[in-house]
A = this chain, B = another copy of it.
Amino acid sequence: MEDIKHKILVLSGKGGVGKSCIAANLAVWLSMQGKNVGLLDIDIHGPSIPKLLNLEDRKVQAEGDKIKPVLYNHTLKVISIGFLIHDENAALIWRGPMKHNVIKQFVTDVSWGNLDYLIVDCPPGTGDEPLSIVQLLGNADGAVIVTTPQQLSVIDVKKCITFCRQLNLPVLGVIENMSGFVCPHCNHRTDIFTGDGGKQMAKDFDVPFLGSIPIDPEVVSACDSGKPFINFNSQSTTAQALNYAFESLLKPDIKTKLIRRLRVK
């Protein structure tokens, strides 16, 4: 783990807000910038990363006493419980301690090598998995929090920010996903999940707002076909929004401000 420069968690209080999609696109985007990247999927009950990156048939290999991650390309290494389960319909009916053990193995027994960034995709909530990974990583840079604009999601995401603060994990920023739907037929925009919740919440909690990503059927279709959107549709408005969010996330001034803010507390 000491060979990894930056460790970033992707969190959300609520499921189904597109967290895994954001995590996968962030990892691919970093790798497109020439960075050495690891993507660790710690969603044990519903691992989405293998599907999102079209790695569903891949399995991990042993390398001495280490586990060798699956390569998406020569600069992106991936680990997910999905690579260890042969039947995609199998349910892992596991209680917390089992999950903690497997996450510990993913952190300590995988040959990650030298990485610029390790991106961790966490399941929703503030239970065993995010708690274990924060404790196991020890010195993560911080968390990106994903929400949809609707109130119901924002409520859970506030709990997520409280979680970060209680564990001294800096909040690097909030991404508002599924933010407005533009009808492909008439171009009329409908705010399906109503408006502005993520932005307002970021303001209320004094954390950086990294931008809004539109709800886009092309993203859903990219997810389902395992083609990371940012790679295969880089010219679209949605890809530009993702690009802006990721650039804002890594801007040194945001990080400096955050570290300062954290020290003040």
Residues of chain A touching chain B, judged by Cβ–Cβ distance below 8 Å, are 13-17, 20, 44-46, 48, 51-52, 88-97, 99, 123-128, 131, 148, 150-153, 155-156, 158-163, 166-167, 181, 183-186, 188, 190-194, 215, 217, 220-221, 223-224
B52, B188, B193: the one contacting A183 at CB < 8 Å is B188
Complex CA gap A131/B162 in Å reads: 27
- Chain B residues lying within 8 Å of A44, measured Cβ to Cβ, are 125, 127
B13, B90, B127: the one contacting A99 at CB < 8 Å is B127
Complex CA gap A95/B94 in Å reads: 13
Contact assessment for B184 and A186 in the assembled complex, using a CB-CB cutoff below 8 Å: no
Query: Distance in Å from the Cβ of A7 to the closest Cβ of chain B?
Result: 19
- Chain B residues lying within 8 Å of A128, measured Cβ to Cβ, are 95-96, 127-128
Query: Distance in Å from the Cβ of A13 to the closest Cβ of chain B?
Result: 5
**Top 3 A-B residue pairs of the complex, sorted by shortest distance between their CB atoms:** A15-B15, A16-B16, A96-B96
By beta carbon, the residue of chain B nearest A165 is B91
Contact assessment for B217 and A94 in the assembled complex, using a CB-CB cutoff below 8 Å: no
Query: Distance in Å from the Cβ of A93 to the closest Cβ of chain B?
Result: 5
Query: Distance in Å from the Cβ of A158 to the closest Cβ of chain B?
Result: 5
Complex CA gap A151/B51 in Å reads: 9
Complex CA gap A16/B16 in Å reads: 4
Contact assessment for B217 and A191 in the assembled complex, using a CB-CB cutoff below 8 Å: yes
- Chain B residues lying within 8 Å of A192, measured Cβ to Cβ, are 181, 215, 217, 220
